Amino acid sequence: MVIVVFIFLAVDLFLLILLFINQSAMNKDQQRLEGLVKNEVSQNRKELSQSLEAFSRQLLTLTQMNEQKLEKVRDVVETNLKSLQEDNSQKLERMRETVDEKLHSTLERRLGESFKVVSERLEKVHEGLGEMQTLANGVGDLKKVLTNVKTRGTWGEIQLGNLLEQILTPGQYEKNIVTKQGSRDPVEFAIKLPGRERDIVYIPIDAKFPKEDYERLMTAQEEGNTIKIEESIKALEARIKLEARKIKEKYIDPPYTTDFGILYLPIEGLYAEVLRRDGLCDQLQRDYRVTIAGPTTITAILNSLQMGFRTLAVEKRAGEVWTLLGTVKNEFTKFGDILDKTQLKLKQASNEIETAARKSRTIERKLKKVQELPEHDETLLLEEDPQNISSAAVNNESIV
pLDDT digits (tens, 9 = 90+) for 129-141: 777 777 766 655 5
Burial label, 273 (beta-carbon count in 10 A; 0-12, 13-18, 19+): buried
Q: Looking at the structure, tell me whether residues 291 and 172 fall in a common domain.
A: yes
Angstrom distance (rounded) from CA 197 to CA 19 = 177
Q: Which of 290, 316, 342 lies at the terminal end of a domain, its last residue?
A: 316
Angstrom distance (rounded) from CA 259 to CA 252 = 6
Domain count, the chain: 2
Stretch 28-56: mean pLDDT, rounded? Answer: 75
**Is residue 182 situated within a structural domain?**
yes
Q: What is the pLDDT of residue 390?
A: 47
Q: Looking at the structure, tell me whether residues 7 and 80 fall in a common domain.
A: yes
Q: What is the CA radius of gyration of the chain?
A: 67
236: nearest Cα among 260, 262, 269: 269
Q: Looking at the structure, tell me whether residues 155 and 278 fall in a common domain.
A: yes
pLDDT tens digits for range 315-374: 666 666 667 767 767 776 776 778 778 878 777 877 888 887 777 778 777 776 655 545
What residues are paired with 14 via a beta bridge? none
Stretch 262-280: mean pLDDT, rounded? Answer: 85
**Is residue 58 situated within a structural domain?**
yes
pLDDT tier, 99 (very low <50, low <70, confident <90, very high otherwise): confident
Stretch 194-198: mean pLDDT, rounded? Answer: 61
Q: Which residue has the higher pLDDT, 393 or 80?
A: 80
Q: What is the pLDDT of residue 394?
A: 41
Instruction: Say what the alpha-carbon torsion angle 114, 117, 122, 126 is, to the nearest 10 degrees.
Output: 170
Q: Looking at the structure, tell me whether residues 214 and 300 fall in a common domain.
A: yes
Structural domain that includes position 154: 149-316
Residue 389: its H or E element: helix 386-399
Q: Looking at the structure, tell me whether residues 193 and 289 fall in a common domain.
A: yes
Given a cut of 80, whether residue 68 has pLDDT beyond it is yes
Angstrom distance (rounded) from CA 93 to CA 87 = 10
Q: Looking at the structure, tell me whether residues 154 and 230 fall in a common domain.
A: yes
End-to-end C-alpha distance for the chain, whole angstroms: 156
Count Cβ atoms below 10 Å from residue 264 Cβ, excluding itself: 25
- Torsion sign over Cα 360, 366, 369, 375: negative
Q: Which residue has the higher pLDDT, 43 or 391?
A: 43
Q: Which of 64, 91, 118 lies at the terminal end of a domain, its last residue?
A: 91
Contact 236, 210 (CB under 8 A): yes
Q: Which of 316, 348, 365 lies at the terminal end of a domain, its last residue?
A: 316
Q: Which residue has the higher pLDDT, 335 or 88?
A: 88
Q: Looking at the structure, tell me whether residues 252 and 186 fall in a common domain.
A: yes
pLDDT tens digits for range 308-318: 777 766 666 66
